[in-house]
Structure formats: structure tokens, C-alpha cells
């Protein structure tokens, strides 16, 4: 990788990924849409360009002008928002991906497009979900993710485009606010615990989902794209995880730091229904075997870092 374009650079992963990549690579262009321009350190630390994923000519022009060799395609509507706007979710998630893959085919770029545990559905084995298994998601988010996996594999096999992807679990960041997903509660709970001492949890006890602290997620993106392609048996998309917990367990990890923290349940039927259709835990042995994936944060260390960071920032 040398000249990198991040499409959707102002979203939950994008800003932190851009800033992390800029510490390692010479040229990292922050692609954005006018409705969500880069601000602060993202704006000041490197080049940015308007790149609307629904405009293939705009993608191609920026790729050519900056001699981009790698595209991180992070443009997507997250699960709960995608259920409210399914047509837009498809347009961005699949129509956008098609545009990116066509430019990558013509210009010789590698492409990273995250998938998600949302690409699995109620018929998928829920515990230690295998790398290769049934994927019949019942959400538009899941349909765009499993379709994106298939399209990205097709472009690799048919045209030789270097496409790679991970199935992200819920990502927990102390920088970017949640983006309208089913796992948002696992970020909101930390801010509520520090600021109010109490949290209204939208998911019921026993709702297990895979989760990952953002520093591990950023490292997964970079390490996969830097991996030796001859070692990759899979490409789109690798199961990766760091931990699996339910609301009670994350609340208990917070109480170990803030003993007075309390929580009550106020269920959100939409998010509960989506969460129930997703795995309880993933088997990520293929990512570990094929490109050395290894998370560094578990629930206690993530909780300690989240609370310390939120307290420091106020
Ligand atoms: C969501 N945070 O909840 C995203 C993610 C696995 C969860 O895809 O939609």
C-alpha cells in the first residue's frame, strides 16, 4: 500500500482509520460527501476529496489524480438505519460497492470493504459461527453485506482485483459516536455510566453479540491489507472477533470500575429483533491461521480504557 483512498472517511471507522494510516503511509486521502465534511485533525492532517460512492466518474477521477493503489470502502448505512431506509442502504452498500470495484478493476486498485456479523441470519449456527456457513440475513444491512462479500469475491476470481474483507462485530470507539447500529448500546453504556451513573439498556439480558475495541478493528483492517496474498484461502470475508458479551456482563465490567453504576432495561424491539438474528459468538480461526489475526483487548481492558478516556475528556 502507498496511496490510499478512504471512502466514507468521516464515519465511525473512517476517521480513526485515516488518522492511523496517516502515521504509516505517505498519502491517505479522506474521501467524504459534502453533507459530512472532514473536521479537526482529519481535515488538518492530510488531503481530502469529495468522493460520492454513487458517482463512479468522481471515484475514478480521484483515484487517477492521486495514483491510488488501495481503496478502503467504508460507506454504508448501519443495521438499524438501513431498516429505516432500505433503498438507500442498497444504493450505497451495493450500488456503491459495484462502482468501487469497477474503478478498481480499471485502475488496478486493491479494495477493502468491511462486512459484518450482520451478514449472518437466524438459520446460521449461533455459537462459534463457522467461517463458511449458511448466510440468510433478514435485514437489508445483512443482504447488502452478504451480497457485497459475493460481489467482492467475484471481482477477485473473475478480474483478479485484490479484494479483502473482515466481518466486523460491534465496534466500540472512544472517539467516534455510534452510527445507528444494533450494537450502539455497547458504546452508549460507557458514556451513560461516566456522565449519569445510570443506563437504559435497549437489549435484554442474555443477548450475546461479538464485540471489538476500535484499536483492534483498525489493526485488523491494516494487517489484512498487508497480509501475504499467497497465504489467503479466504478473502471476503473473514470472521474476526475479540470478545462476546451480553448487557449484564458489560454492566458488571463497568461496576468493577464504577461500583455505583446502575442499569435498567427499556427494550427496543427493532434492535432486539436484529440482535436475536445475529450470532452469539464467532469462530475466527481462519483469520488467525491465514493472516495472524490476534485481538489485544478483552472486556476488562476495554472497559478500563473507555472509562479512563471518557473521564479524561469530560
Ligand atoms: C451495527 N455496529 O450494529 C454495526 C455492526 C456488527 C454490528 O455491523 O449495525
Measured CA to CA, the distance from residue 105 to residue 128 in angstroms comes to: 35
Mutate-to-test residue for ligand 1 from 74, 118, 179, 282, highest number of ligand atoms within 8 A of CB: 118
pLDDT at 176: 79
Give which of 96, 95, 73 is closest to 8, Cα–Cα. Answer: 73
- What does the pLDDT average to over 147-159? 98
pLDDT band at 139 (very low <50, low <70, confident <90, very high): very high
For 294, phi and psi rounded to 5 degrees?
-160, 110
pLDDT band at 181 (very low <50, low <70, confident <90, very high): confident
Residue 141 is a catalytic residue:
yes
CATH topology (fold) of 170-211+242-313: UDP-galactose 4-epimerase; domain 1 (3.90.25)
pLDDT at 54: 97
Give the residues surrounding ligand 1 with Cβ less than 6 Å away.
Answer: 78-79, 116-118, 141, 168-171, 181-183
CATH number assigned to the domain covering 3-168+213-239: 3.40.50.720
- Model confidence at 137: pLDDT above 90: yes
Nearest ligand 1 atom to the CA of 80 is: 9
Residue 28 three-state SS: strand
Closest Cα to atom 4 of ligand 1: 181
Domain ranges of the chain: 3-168+213-239, 170-211+242-313
CA–centroid distance, 99 to ligand 1, in Å, is: 23
CA–centroid distance, 270 to ligand 1, in Å, is: 13
Residues 6+ apart with CB under 8 A from 184: 80, 178, 271
Amino acid at each position: 500500500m502507498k496511496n490510499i483512498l478512504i471512502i466514507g472517511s468521516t464515519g465511525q471507522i473512517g476517521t480513526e482509520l485515516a488518522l492511523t494510516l496517516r502515521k504509516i503511509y505517505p498519502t491517505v486521502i479522506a474521501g467524504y460527501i459534502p453533507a459530512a465534511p472532514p473536521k479537526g485533525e482529519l481535515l488538518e492532517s492530510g488531503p481530502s476529496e469529495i468522493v460520492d460512492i454513487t458517482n463512479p466518474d468522481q471515484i475514478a477521477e480521484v483515484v487517477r489524480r492521486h495514483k491510488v493503489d488501495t481503496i478502503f470502502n467504508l460507506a454504508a448505512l448501519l443495521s438499524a438505519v438501513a431498516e429505516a431506509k432500505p433503498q438507500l442502504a442498497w444504493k450505497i452498500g451495493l450500488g456503491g460497492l459495484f462502482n468501487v470495484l469497477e474503478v478498481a478493476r480499471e485502475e488496478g486498485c486493491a479494495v477493502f470493504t468491511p462486512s459484518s456479523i450482520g451478514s449472518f441470519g437466524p438459520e446460521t449456527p449461533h455459537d462459534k459461527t463457522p467461517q463458511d456457513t449458511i448466510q440468510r440475513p433478514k435485514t437489508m444491512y445483512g443482504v447488502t453485506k452478504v451480497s457485497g462479500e459475493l460481489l467482492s469475491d467475484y471481482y477477485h476470481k473473475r478480474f483478479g482485483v485484490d479484494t479483502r474483507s473482515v466481518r466486523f462485530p460491534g465496534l466500540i470507539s472512544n472517539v467516534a459516536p455510534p452510527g445507528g447500529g444494533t450494537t450502539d448500546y455497547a458504546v452508549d453504556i460507557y458514556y451513560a455510566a461516566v456522565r449519569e451513573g445510570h443506563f437504559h439498556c435497549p437489549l435484554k439480558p442474555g443477548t450475546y453479540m461479538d464485540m471489538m475495541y476500535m484499536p483492534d478493528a483498525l489493526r485488523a483492517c491494516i494487517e489484512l491489507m498487508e497480509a501475504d496474498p499467497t497465504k489467503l484461502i479466504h478473502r471476503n470475508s473473514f470472521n474476526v472477533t475479540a470478545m462476546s458479551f451480553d448487557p449484564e456482563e458489560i454492566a458488571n465490567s463497568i461496576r468493577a470500575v464504577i461500583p455505583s453504576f446502575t442499569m435498567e432495561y427499556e427494550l427496543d424491539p427493532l434492535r432486539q429483533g436484529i440482535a436475536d438474528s445475529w450470532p452469539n459468538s464467532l469462530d475466527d480461526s481462519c483469520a488467525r491461521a491465514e493472516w495472524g489475526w490476534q485481538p489485544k483487548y478483552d472486556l476488562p481492558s476495554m472497559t478500563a480504557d473507555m472509562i479512563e478516556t471518557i473521564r479524561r475528556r469530560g
